[in-house]
Structure 1
Amino acid sequence: MHALRHFYASVLLAAGESIKAVSEYLGHANPALTLRVYAHLMPSSQDRTRRAVDAVFRHPDEIA
């Protein structure tokens, strides 16, 4: 069950969900706990920046 929760949190964080929302979904009393446990799964600022710039320059045929 623990692995499933970890997978769930990692999928949400990789998709850009906020740490506050993930904390609520997991039933944590405090987002700080969620951040301590799952911060390593959050995309880096560089990853977010790269995806944002790539999305702007993506050819219309590539957009799903």
Structure 2
Amino acid sequence: MLRRTYASLTLEAGESVVTLARWLGHSSPTVTLDYYAHFMPGVGGKGARAIDGLLGQPAAVVTAA
């Protein structure tokens, strides 16, 4: 349980999946994503905000489904 809590909080804080995979000893980031992707509700938000900024649009709010 402690491992899952650590991984979920680390991802929610914005740590790289690649880095977390190394820390957890996973064979690849894909394994990490298979287990913990649901803890990343804001994924894609940075890219959307960057494009909005380039286009002079107000930043869209990204919400979790």
The answer to whether 1:13 aligns with 2:8 is no
Q: Structure 1 or 2: larger helix share?
A: 1
Using the size of structure 1 for normalisation, the TM-score is 0.64
Measured against aligned partners, the alpha-carbon deviations of 1:5-36 in whole angstroms (never above 9, x if no partner) come to 10000110010001101101100011100001
What is the SS of the residue equivalent to 2:20? helix
Amino acid of the structure 2 residue aligned with 1:14: E
Q: 5+ residue gaps in structure 1? A: 54-64
Question: What is the aligned-residue identity percentage?
Answer: 44
Structure 1 runs (4+) greater than 3 angstroms displaced? 45-49
Structure number with the bigger relative contact order (C-alpha 8 A, sep ≥ 6) is 1
Q: CA RMSD in A?
A: 1.9
* Corresponding residue pairs, total: 48
Distance in 1 between the 2:39 and 2:22 partners?
Answer: 17
Using the size of structure 2 for normalisation, the TM-score is 0.63
| Residue 45 of structure 1, CA deviation | 3.8
Residue of structure 2 in register with 1:61 after alignment: none
Residue of structure 2 in register with 1:62 after alignment: none
